Structure 1
Amino acid sequence: MIVRSRTQDDLDGCVKALAEVQAADGYPVDWPDDPAGFLTPSDLAGAWVAVDDEGVAGHVGVTVGDAVTRLFVAPRARGRGLAVRLLEALTVRPLTLEVSDEGKAAIALYERAGWRRVGSDRAGWLNNAGEPALVHHYVLEE
């Protein structure tokens, strides 16, 4: 497994992996009309992918404000520490991220990796139950 900077040529593989994640986990809650655009928000400062023999296995981005965005690992590649490796590719500190309360596995991963919850609030979007999502805010300072 190789973790490297994402290139334009990776976007189709990223969209395919994101579709697998959405089918398995409901992330993103609403499938975007433009999934490649979803992976390339206007405030994106950089993005990295994990690639194996089957293609893109994971993705992470960081915004101009040093917030982690669009972190996911395809179901076929889980259980190998890939999310942690993707997060380690981000060298800026402190980093922040938000995660829906529904993301129990993601929350457990972040907390095992040393992220600290600094607050929670309701989002302006709906969770899988159709209610305003409870979002937890985390920071990694190292």
Structure 2
Amino acid sequence: MLIRPRDPADLDACVEALAQVHRADRYPVDWPDDPRGWLSPADLASAWIAAEAGAVLGHVGLTRDGEVTRLFVTPAARGRGLAAGLLGSVRAAVRGPLKLEVSAEGEAAIAFYERSGWRRVRSSRADWINAGGEPALLHHYVSS
């Protein structure tokens, strides 16, 4: 398994990996009309992938203002330390603390972040609807 910067040629494989995650976990809650664009928001500074044998197993992005975004690992690849490795790549690229937000519905992600030393600093309501049909509750974290 290799963690490396994402290349534009990786986007189709990233979309396939995201589709696997969406089917298993409803992340993102609503499948985007343009999944390639969703993986490359306007404020994206960098992105990394975890890949093995030509398949993308995980992905993470970093915005220009130091926010971790679009972090996911395919269901079949979980339990191998890929999320921690992807976050390690982000941490190696940035001086100072990072931030991220996660939906309250993402209990496994929340547990992972808290085990990894991230600290919840506040919560807010999103401008998108969660699986329950109400504005999602977002928890905001900073790295230690």
Task: Give the structure-1-normalised TM-score.
Answer: 0.97
Identity across aligned pairs (percent)? 63
State the aligned residue count. Answer: 141
Distance 1:80 1:108 in 2: 16
The amino acid that maps onto 1:88 is G
* 1:108 and 2:105 are equivalent in the alignment: no
Deviating beyond 4 angstroms after TM superposition, the runs of 4 or more aligned structure 1 residues are none
Instruction: State the match for 2:18 in structure 1.
Output: 18
Deviation at 1:53, TM superposition (A): 1.9
**Structure 1: runs of 5+ lacking an equivalent:** none
Distance 1:116 1:15 in 2: 30
Instruction: State the match for 2:48 in structure 1.
Output: 48
Deviation at 1:48, TM superposition (A): 0.1
Q: How does 1:76-95 map to 2 (within 5 A)?
A: 76-90=76-90, 91=92, 92=94, 93-95=96-98
Deviation at 1:124, TM superposition (A): 1.0
| SS of aligned partner of 2:30 | coil
The amino acid that maps onto 2:71 is L
The amino acid that maps onto 1:27 is Y
Distance 1:54 1:118 in 2: 38
Distance 2:19 2:85 in 1: 21
Task: Give the structure-2-normalised TM-score.
Answer: 0.96
